[in-house]
A and B are shown apart, each in its own frame.
Chain A
Amino acid sequence: MDWKAIANAPWLWFCGFVQAAIGVGQAWYFLRLATRLLERHGGYKQKDIWAIVRGALITAFGPIMAEIFVMMALIIAISPAYAWQREGVGVGSVFTELVQVSNAAIGVGQEFGQPSFNIVGFAAAMVVVNVSCIGWSLGAALFTPYLGKARDKLSRGDPRLLAVITVSSTLGIFGYYAASEIKKGGGRPTAVIAGALLSMFLFKLADWLKVPRLKEWALGIAMFGGMYIAHLLGS
């Protein structure tokens, strides 16, 4: 049997559904806990919660669409069932997946994307790609309670110092991602700068106009705006 047919058979769709059930079940439970706590002890009403949900949905739209576009590489290279199993619920971006499948193939003396890649390469990928991402989930299971304690120790109960750490670490992470895109050149620096300026402008505008709902749309508009401006100026 052709390995690509096996890679799109119901068993792999089933594995994806099992993972999705765990991920969605976890998210749904946390969502219920969080909304209940805010309603009982935070003075939040249904409409306040809906505004938060709406903002997250609008923001999620762009990255999810981008994921679907890039996922086509996995669908073409392996199978739709594989894309679902790995990208539905599972740590590893599409790019990471392609790197890890290539690593698995090298392990069994094959080259991913070449005719030499066969069912043995696929079987190696099934083990290597899935098992190598367990470090994230096991790490979360075992060490999450200690992350908060470590942060509290660092800030020594000073809320201003906590804000210093949180804001600067966020800028540190996104500074890295932004700088790495700027280094790649082409239209990417334009996308970074346009995205940043649009987002700053929209968040400020929401405050100036006293229209908090604009913040729900700010990141979503900035993402698409940055992308479109880069397309216009970058190509």
Chain B
Amino acid sequence: MAPNEGFVDLPEEPFEKEYLAPVHRVGFWTCIAISVAMFLPALLLYLLYGVFAPWAGILAGMGLALTYAVPFFFIEPISYYPIYGDAGNYMSMTTGNVSNLRLPCAAVAQAVAGVPEGTRKGAVIACIGIAVSVIAGVIGVFFGSLAGGWITAQFPKWLTDAFKVYLLPAVWGAVFGQFALRGPMYAIPALIIAGIPLVLGWKAYFIIPIAVFGTVLVAYAMYKWFKIAPKAG
């Protein structure tokens, strides 16, 4: 939503000095730390058990893995940044599960606070939503790893199946619905722009940028030529 008349954003100076500067400092070092930590499993496996895969095999496997992952290194932060801001990007790119967990938590935190996304206050509130999801997620996954089998066995089969098959589509629908209220004029174009390459069977790493930038272009054209913008409030 465009900032409405009653909305007062955070002042720029304390936002930059008391929030953004330490966010970048700590975000940089924690992202470096997690990158280094990713070498620890292979290193410990070698030191404790003397096991290391042949380099040729690793390189071949890495080639395949990077073919799959590299486009997303660029697409995801650029696409998600407008919603969750700087701290949200550091946390999301450290902990993963962005579209299914971090973004919905950021969006609901902004809705609860009644704060427009894309503003300083919106970024700070998204940061709270994402930080909470990280802490809750780590606790949940830890207990899930320890006792996941027992927990899931307590649920009836239909519920387990429904979680596996239907929860994610419902999450996408729910967040789409929430934002469709903000910009109803973009909802149908967004679905069409993503839907055509999907029907043509293109790869996800081509379709995601087309979906994001295509919808932004349509929205920009509506704004530029017809002065149509998301509703305030």
Which A residues are in CB contact (< 8 Å) with B152? 68-69, 72
Complex formed: what's the CA distance from A12 to B78 in Å? 32
Given known pairs A64-B137, A93-B96, the reply for A168 and B31 (CB within 8 Å) is no
Which B residues are in CB contact (< 8 Å) with A104? 53, 58, 61, 65
Give the contact-size bracket for chain A: 35 or more
Complex formed: what's the CA distance from A31 to B183 in Å? 29
Q: Is the interface of B mostly helix, strand, loop or mixed?
A: helix
Question: Which residues from 166 to 210 on chain B have a C-beta closer than 8 Å to any C-beta of chain A?
Answer: 166-183, 186-187, 190-191, 193-195, 198-199, 204, 207-208
Whether the Cβ atoms of B37 and A223 lie closer than 8 Å is no
Which B residues are in CB contact (< 8 Å) with A227? 162-163, 166-167, 170
Complex formed: what's the CA distance from A182 to B169 in Å? 8
**How near does chain A come to B215, taking the closest CB pair, in angstroms?**
3
Q: Which residue on chain B has the smallest CB distance to residue A132?
A: B65
Complex formed: what's the CA distance from A153 to B49 in Å? 52
Write out, one digit per residue, whether chain B residues 131-162 have a CB within 8 A of any chain A CB (1) or not (0): 11111111011101110110110000010111
Whether the Cβ atoms of A179 and B194 lie closer than 8 Å is yes
Complex formed: what's the CA distance from A215 to B137 in Å? 21
**How near does chain A come to B154, taking the closest CB pair, in angstroms?**
12
Whether the Cβ atoms of B215 and A172 lie closer than 8 Å is yes
Complex formed: what's the CA distance from A128 to B59 in Å? 8
Which B residues are in CB contact (< 8 Å) with A90? 34, 38, 95-96
**Residue from A75, A175, A187 in contact with B211 in the complex, judged by beta carbons closer than 8 Å:** A175
Complex formed: what's the CA distance from A234 to B77 in Å? 34
Which A residues are in CB contact (< 8 Å) with B129? 52, 55-56, 59
Which B residues are in CB contact (< 8 Å) with A54? 112
Which B residues are in CB contact (< 8 Å) with A151? 81-82
Complex formed: what's the CA distance from A88 to B137 in Å? 7
Whether the Cβ atoms of B191 and A167 lie closer than 8 Å is no
Write out, one digit per residue, whether chain A residues 39-73 have a CB within 8 A of any chain B CB (1) or not (0): 01110000011011111111111111111111110
Which B residues are in CB contact (< 8 Å) with A70? 164
Write out, one digit per residue, whether chain B residues 67-92 have a CB within 8 A of any chain A CB (1) or not (0): 01110111011111111011101111
Complex formed: what's the CA distance from A173 to B194 in Å? 9
Whether the Cβ atoms of A194 and B173 lie closer than 8 Å is yes
Question: Which residues from 1 to 57 on chain B have a C-beta closer than 8 Å to any C-beta of chain A?
Answer: 1-3, 10-11, 14-15, 18-19, 22-24, 26-35, 37-42, 44-46, 48-49, 51-54, 57
**How near does chain A come to B114, taking the closest CB pair, in angstroms?**
7
Give the contact-size bracket for chain B: 35 or more
Write out, one digit per residue, whether chain A residues 67-93 have a CB within 8 A of any chain B CB (1) or not (0): 111111001000011011101111111
Q: Which residue on chain A has the smallest CB distance to residue B213?
A: A172
Whether the Cβ atoms of A23 and B134 lie closer than 8 Å is yes
Which interface residue of B11, B40, B57 has the most chain A CB atoms within 10 A? B57
Asked whether A1 is an interface residue with its Cβ less than 8 Å from the other chain, the reply is yes
Which A residues are in CB contact (< 8 Å) with B146? 80
Whether the Cβ atoms of A88 and B78 lie closer than 8 Å is no
Which interface residue of A34, A174, A215, A230 has the most chain B CB atoms within 10 A? A174
**How near does chain A come to B56, taking the closest CB pair, in angstroms?**
8
Which A residues are in CB contact (< 8 Å) with B29? 141
**Residue from A60, A67, A195 in contact with B177 in the complex, judged by beta carbons closer than 8 Å:** A195
**Residue from A140, A162, A170, A196 in contact with B93 in the complex, judged by beta carbons closer than 8 Å:** A140
Q: Which residue on chain B has the smallest CB distance to residue A183?
A: B198
Which B residues are in CB contact (< 8 Å) with A199? 173-175, 177-178
Beyond A55-B129, A59-B133, A135-B70, list 12 extra A-B contacts (CB 8 Å): A24-B134, A24-B138, A26-B94, A27-B95, A42-B10, A104-B61, A151-B82, A168-B186, A169-B82, A172-B211, A175-B215, A191-B166
